[in-house]
Amino acid sequence: MKFPADFKKKYTNLLGDDAPSFFAGLQTEAVKAFRVNPLKEDYENIGYPLDYPVSYAPTGFYGSVSGKSLEHQTGYVYSQEPSAMYVAEVGNVKPGEIILDLCAAPGGKSTQIAAKLAGKGLLVSNEINRKRAGILAENIERVGPTNVVILNESPQGMARKITNYFDKIFVDAPCSGEGMFRKDPAAIKYWHKDYPAECAVRQKEILTEAMKMLKPGGQLIYSTCTFAPEEDEQIIEWLVENYELALIPVQKYEGMDSGFSRLAGNNKEVEKAVRLFPHHFRGEGHFIAKLQDKRETINVCSNIKEKKKKEKTNSVFRSLSKEEEKLWKDFESKVFRQQLFILDDLRCWGDQLFYYPSNWPNIQDLKFIKPGFQVGIFKKKRFEPAYGLALAIKSTNVQQIIDVTIAEWENYVSGNIITLVGKLPPNGWYALRCNGKVFGFAKSVNGTLKNFFPKGLRFTI
Report, as residue numbers or ranges, the catalytic residues: 225
**What's the rounded Cα separation, in Å, for the pair 321 and 324?**
5
Helices (H), 214-280: 233-242
Which residue in 91, 143, 101, 92 sits closest to 122, CA to CA?
101
Mention every residue, 6+ apart, whose C-beta is less than 8 A from residue 451: 412, 415, 416, 417, 418, 442
Q: Which is it for strands 401-403 and 437-445: parallel, antiparallel or unpaired?
A: unpaired
Q: How far from the centroid of its chain's Cα atoms is residue 427's Cα?
A: 37
User: In the chain, how long is the greatest CA-to-CA distance?
Assistant: 76
Which residue in 111, 107, 85, 53 sits closest to 276, CA to CA?
85
Using alpha carbons only, how large is the chain's radius of gyration in Å?
A: 24
Residue 104, amino acid: A
3-state SS, residue 298: coil
Partners of 288 in beta bridges:
223, 274
Q: How far from the centroid of its chain's Cα atoms is residue 99's Cα?
A: 11
